[in-house]
Every structure is written in C-alpha cells, then in structure tokens.
Amino acid sequence: MSSSRTHAERAELTGHAHIPLEGERQTGRTDPDEDIAVTLLLRRRRELPDIHEHLGHLLPEEKKQKHMTQLGLSERHGATSESFAAVERFAKEHKLKIVAHTNSHRAITLNGSSATIEKAFGVRLVEMEQNHRRYRVPEGRLSVPRELSETVQAVVGLSTRPFAKRVAVHHKGAHLPFWTVQQMAEAYGFAPQRSAKSRRIALIELGGGYHEEDLRQYFTSAGVPMPKLRCVSVDGAQNLPAPKSHIKLLLDAVEGKCEFSEIPQDALSSAQCTIEVTMDIELAGALAPGAEIIVYMAPATEHGILSALHKAIANDHELPDAISISWGEPEIGVSEAIRNSIEETLREAALLGVTVCASSGDEGALNGSSDGTPTVNFPASSPHVLSCGGTSVEKVGTGVREAVWNCSQHGIRGASGGGVSRYFSTPKWQHDHGVPLAPTGMKGRGVPDVAGPADPHRGCAILVGGEWCSSAGTSAVAPLWAALVACLNSELGTRCGYITPLLYRFSRTEKSSLREITEGDNGFYQARRGWNACTGLGSPEATHLASALRGKPGKIHSKAS
C-alpha cells in the first residue's frame, strides 16, 4: 500500500468536530513531538439488539448467562478480524504503535507523536484554555483511508478537554448535617436489616480520590462494616486524594469563611473531586452493606470516561449490579461521535442486566446555558440510564415531605437538572407521561426519571479529610439509587437491570413505590403530579418498590435467535 494518499483516497469521519465553549481561546499548536494515544472504536460485526424487544420484568440470576447467550452478548458482538487487520495496516503505514487491542469492545489503541497523529487523521492539534483549564483539541475534518471508513466508528482521545463538571455545593456548617445515613435510609424505606452481600456497585470517578482513614472512621460511626473496596486504574489515573488542608479550605469557602479566589485552581479541583469520590463510596457502602464497591479512577476526558465504562462491564462473570455516574456534560457540548460511543456502551450495560444511575446535574434546567435555553446533561439524557434528579427535604416525621431542590448557599446556586433531550427521542415508556417538547421542537427523552435528597441544607453526614460535612447535589442521588438497586437485587434474587421502564409502569399502577414531588421548580420547569422535568417520577419508597418488583414474574421475553 502506498504511503502517500490523495485526498480522494480518504473519507471524512463525521461527528468528530470540536464544539467550542464560551470563553475558550487557542494558545498555540500542540508540540509535534508530544506522545499521544488514541483509540479507534470499530463497528460491530452485528448490531446490538433493540433492548425494548427483549424487555422482561426481572432477570433472575440463574438465567443471566442464558439471557446473554440469547442476545448474542456472550461474544459481545466484537469487530471482525478483517477490521482489526485493516487498522493494523493503517498503523504500520503511519508508523503508529499498537499499544492495546480489545476485541470485546472493538477497541484498538494507537500511539505516536502529535505530528504523526495529525498526518494519520488529517487534523491539526491545538492547545486551548478556558476557565483556567488547559487542554488539546483537534481542528479540521477528521479523515481516514477510505478502506477504514466503514470499519472505524469513532476516534477517541484526540481531545483532552475536561469532559465532566460538578458544582461545589457541599455545606459544612457549624453543626452536624441534617441526618445520618441510617436516618436517611429509614426515611426512604430501606429495610433496617438490609444487605447487599455478594453484590457489586461500580463508581465511575474522574479525579481526586479517598483517604482510607476517612472511610474506616465513617463506617465505624455509621455502624456498618467497612465494605470490600477495589480501586481500578483507568488510563493511568490513580487514587490521589487532595491533602486534608485543601479539603478544609474548600469547605471553608463553601461556608463563606473565605473566598474561592483565595484557593489555587488545582487545589480547588482536587478537593472537590475528593469530596465527590469519598461521598460516593460512603453513601453506596453504608446504604448497601456487604456490597463490593469498585472504584474506577479515570481521567476526566472522553477517552477516560469511555475506558472506565468499558472496564466496568468487561467481565461477564463480575458484572456490577449497578453503576453510579455522578458526572455530566451539557448535551450541546458533546460531539456526536463521543455521544454515540458512550450511548452504545450504556445500551450494552442495560442489555447485560446492569442498572446505570446517572446524576441529572446541579445547575437546574438552564445548566449554565449562555442563551437562556434549557439543556440537559449527558449521560443522564441517555434512554438506557436511570436519570437521578434532586429534592429538598422539608419535613421528616411519619413520612418525608420534599420539594424540588433549588437553593442558594453562600452565593452558590444549586438546583436539580432536568428537561428534555435535543438528541434522544422520547422512549416509548415515557409516552403519555406529559414530557414537553425539547427546545428544538422535537419530542425528546425527558430528564430525570427519579430523584433523591440533594439539598446541602438537608444532606446526609459524610466524612472527608477528617471533616464532617453534608452530602449534596444530584451526585449524591446516583449512589443512593445504585445502592437501592444492589439491595433489591439481593433481596429478590434478581437483577433489576434496565429498571427504568418498569418504574414508569409502576407509576401507573403502583402509586406508593415512588413519592411524587409536586412543589418547586428548577429554574424553568415546574413540579407537578406524575412525571415532571425536575424530579421525574419522584423519590424512592424502597419497601413498596420491593413489593412491586416482587409481584412481577421473573421472566425474560426474548425474540433473539
């Protein structure tokens, strides 16, 4: 094969264009000698089935392997050997080194200098800066040799722009948080003697880490055994918790005792990520005692996120019961190729019987929009996840009274993310639930599906950096629902799996399984009876939800050959 190609011998791969951010500026070209790794995702030898064609009620554990075989998932629909061979020829021609090769996820990772990568994919790599963040992005139309145009689905890793955002809304306060994790569990109907023994919860984490001494002290205080904890490195990321002094600085800033501007940006980011990671572990471990907690530490880039999700579902014999994702990015800022690649992985997880819980965001319906138009977060907008919004607990007694989370803490505004997707159409299980039109005028997927306590004024006690503070944000709701799923799976001996459509069905027939939130707004949408674009179908009534699920026959309706 000739090493020189005419333009006609190459084909553009659509969906990879860089989407500029407000305030973003170019600072120069990427060093031509910089070492860069990119991953090519190859097309499947055959497409994944439509999960709606295979929706049963629950997935009994003993039928999991049979179900996977029926759907062809035992072989994971990997790419063909011819596809990999074509990429290997491409790599050799362009002097790129093959550093990883994973057939189950049709992924092949290539390594080379920036100049070599630019030539191989027909782009320019440039350095950008936005809000003190520095990163690399590709410019131009990404292309590959024509023989690869039907083989390569996406090229991941050219951009290193931080993919996820979280808002610092954690409240320290002069007194202990509103309630303990055990009190919160009781308020939401978790069984007092609950257990998630032999179940697994995967946490997707993007930076920061956890101090083991915090966890030991926390679980001793909560009266819950320290969970079996496994930390998995993704793309070189490690458990790197912020120093305790930085965590205290951040909590003091949230409390209004100092200015955020007084804290170096790197210290601020590391402390916030450490609070998030620690909160996820403590809530998931305390609400689902006995569960193994697997922490996937990944870089906050499109490559890191996709790699973490792939790793989380890579082993058929160690599939998690639930995955908790507390990150998100406004849909309009995610390229089509990356959105489709992540969405396909989420769809695969659903088919495998893994419940994926994703936070809907902490900036209300407008979600940081510069034009005043509502926009939802991805992956919360994926129809294959359980999208988790936030509530504010107003009263606890014989029951819990909640409103939409929308409050301010020392000038930091936080509200439940929610609205309508611009890219995913309305799933059939949301039909007749009053989902409004998306800002584009299309009928879109409504966000969120469910909710839980997110207001820092009414949060649960967590311990991080030796400081007691409050859980906060929809980042706290995703691990709550993941823990509930693990407990339900243990109690019922099933995999709830793709539970989202079931919850919409229950909302018609099993009114007590979810607590409707009818008060408040998220800056654009108003709460109301039934589903709403602030808190979805409502917060959990765990005992009633277990009863509703117990009444469904454990049966898989599959049309797969």
Residue type, 74: S
Nearest to 280 by CA among 293, 290, 262: 293
Residue-range domains of the chain with CATH: 7-43+79-156 (no CATH), 181-548 (3.40.50.200)
- What are the tens digits of pLDDT across the range 247-259? 998 888 877 788 8
Using a cut of 0.95, tell me whether the model's pTM lies above it. Answer: no
CB of 121 within 8 A of CB of 158?
yes
d(CA 10, CA 121): 9
Mean pLDDT of 378-402: 91
| Mean pLDDT across 406-411 | 75
Q: Residue 229: how many CB atoms within 10 A of its CB?
A: 15
Q: Which of the residue ranges 32-36, 261-265, 494-498 would you say has the lowest mean pLDDT? A: 261-265
- pLDDT beyond 50 at 222: yes
Cα separation, 148 vs 348, whole angstroms: 24
pLDDT score of 3: 42
- Crossing angle between the packed helical segments 542-550 and 477-492, to the nearest 10 degrees: 40
Question: CB of 344 within 8 A of CB of 352?
Answer: no
DSSP secondary structure of 74-106: TTTTPPPHHHHHHHHHHHHHTTPEEEEEEGGGT
Beta bridge partners of 78: none
Residues known to be catalytic: 276, 280, 475
Pairing of β 450-453 and β 461-464: unpaired
Residues 6+ apart with CB under 8 A from 20: none
